[in-house]
Amino acid sequence: MKSLADILKEIRPEFDFTASSDFITDGMLDSFDVVTLVATLDKTYGISIDGMDIVPGNFKNLQTIETLLSKYKSPK
Amino acid sequence: MEPVGNIGRVYSAVQKAKTGASGFITNFFPVQRKLQGWIDYGDLFCESDESAALFFRKDRDFRHFYFCAANAVALQERMAASVVLKKERVMTDLVGNEAALSDLLTLLKTVGFRQYTRLCRMARTAPIEMQQQSSSDSQIVYATQADCRAILDLLERSFNRYAEQLPMLYELEAAVAGRQILVAKHGNAIAGLLFFETQGFTSTTRYWLVDEQFRSFRFGSALMRRYFETQSAVRRFILWVIADNENAIQKYHHYGFAPDGLVDCVLANRMIPV
C-alpha cells in the first residue's frame, strides 16, 4: 500500500512534503488538492472521510493527516 | 436574505450543512483574508437552513453564488426556494475535473443556470529560464495606491466582469499594499500590468495584460520577466484562462505553462444577458 508521502508526491510532485510543517501556508496544497487528496485517501485506505473533517487544520502536515487517518482506520 | 455580519456566521452555516451530510457538496473555498474583506464591506449575504447554505457576494451589477449542502437534494430544494436566484443577476463557478462536475452541472441547470464560459487552469513547475532583458524592463515597477483607479479601469475595459472575477477597488488597494501588482508605465499612463497572488511556494497569475495602444512596446514580456524574477522561491506557477482564448493560451505555453486538468465551468442564471 502507498504511504501518505507517496500519495502527496503523486498529487504535487514538485514539492517535498517532508520538509514542511504547514502545507497550506506554504502553498503546497490548495482547496482543490485537498479534495483530490481526500478522494485518494478514501480509495487507498477503504475509508470515507466525513465532510466535518475536511477542514484545513486536518491537512496541515503529515502528522495531522496521519492523526485524521488513524481515526478512520482504528477499529470501532 | 441577510448580510453576513461576521466570519463565525459563515462557519456556523457551513458546519450545519456538513453535520450528518450524506454527500456533502460545495463550491465555496474562500481564503479567510478575502472572506473578511467581503464581510467588512457588506458584500456577503447568506440564506441557510439545517442542510444547505447559499452565499451571495455583491460584484458590480450582479452577484457571485456559492453553496454548501448536505447533498444534492438539499441543494436543489434550497436553490428552488431562493428569490435571489430567480430575480437577480447571478453567476457561479464549478471547479474540478470535467468528469466530476457533470452531475452538479445538470443540477444547476434544473434551477435555470446555463453554461456561460469555461476556464482551464494552466501550471508551470519547471525552473524559470530568464530571458534576455530589454529596454522596457526599466519601466516595470510595483503599482502604488495612486494607480488603483487606472488599474481598475484597465481591468474592466479588458476583461469580462461576469466570467473573470474582477477585483473590487478595496481588493485592488489591498493587493497594491501587498506588492502584488506590477505595472508597465509609459509616461503617466498604465500601459500594462501583472497582478499575482503568492502563497508560499505557489504563485497565481491573476491578470496579465497590456493596453491595446501599447502592444508593440514589449511590455508584456517585460512584466512576465520581472514577475518571475521577484518570485524566485516559487516552485509552482498557476493561472486560469478562458478555454477558447487561443491567443492567450499560446502566450502562456511560450512561458512554460500547460493545462493541468482542472476546469472552471462558469454558469449564468436567466437574468444575465446572453
Q: Domain ranges for chain B, please list them.
A: 2-88, 126-234
Interface contact A14-B235, CB threshold 8 A: yes
B59-113 pLDDT per residue, tens: 999 999 999 999 999 999 999 999 999 999 999 999 998 898 999 999 999 999 9
Give the chain A residue whose CA is nearest to the CA of B200.
Answer: A26
User: Residue B178 in 3-state DSSP?
Assistant: coil
Nearest chain A residue to B95, by CA = A32
Specify whether the CB–CB gap between B116 and B266 falls below 8 A: yes
Contacts 24+ apart (CB under 8 A), B38-42: B38/B4, B39/B4, B39/B5, B39/B6, B39/B7, B39/B10, B41/B168, B41/B170, B42/B3
In B145-257 the beta strands, taken as DSSP E runs, fall at: 181-186, 189-199, 202-210, 236-242
C-alpha pair distances (Å), B247 with each of B36, B161, B163, B194, B237: 36, 20, 18, 17, 19
Residue with cell 489591498: B174
> Cβ–Cβ of B200/A32 closer than 8 Å?
no
pLDDT one-digit tens code per residue, A19-70:
999 999 999 999 889 989 999 999 999 998 988 898 899 999 999 999 999 9
Neighboring chain B residues of A25 at a CB cutoff of 8 Å: 199-200
What is the rounded CA–CA span in Å between residue B27 and residue A61?
24
What is the distance of C-alpha B33 from the center of its chain? Answer: 14
| Model pLDDT, residue B52 | 97
CB atoms within 10 A of CB B138: 10
**HSE (CB half, 13 Å, CA atoms) of B208?**
25
Task: Encode chain B (274 residues) as per-residue pLDDT tens digits.
Answer: 889 999 999 999 999 999 878 889 999 998 889 999 999 999 999 999 999 999 999 999 999 999 999 999 999 999 999 999 999 999 999 999 889 899 999 999 999 999 999 999 999 987 666 666 776 777 999 999 999 999 999 999 999 999 999 999 999 999 999 999 999 999 999 999 999 999 999 999 999 999 999 999 999 999 999 999 999 999 999 999 999 999 999 999 999 999 999 999 999 999 999 8
Evaluated on CA atoms B257, B229, B193, B66, the torsion sign reads: positive
Calpha distance A6→A43 (Å, rounded) = 14
Does B34 contact chain A (CB < 8 Å)?
Answer: no
Nearest by CB: A14 against B15, B96, B125: B125
Asked if B231 reaches chain A (Cβ–Cβ under 8 Å), the answer is: no
Q: Tell me which chain B residues have a C-beta less than 8 angstroms from the C-beta of A28.
A: 200-202
Is A33 within 8 Å of chain B by CB?
Answer: no
What CATH number belongs to B126-234? 3.40.630.30
Write down the number of H helices and E strands in chain A.
Answer: 3, 0
Q: Which helix (H) or strand (E) holds B66?
A: strand B62-69
Prediction ipTM score: 0.90
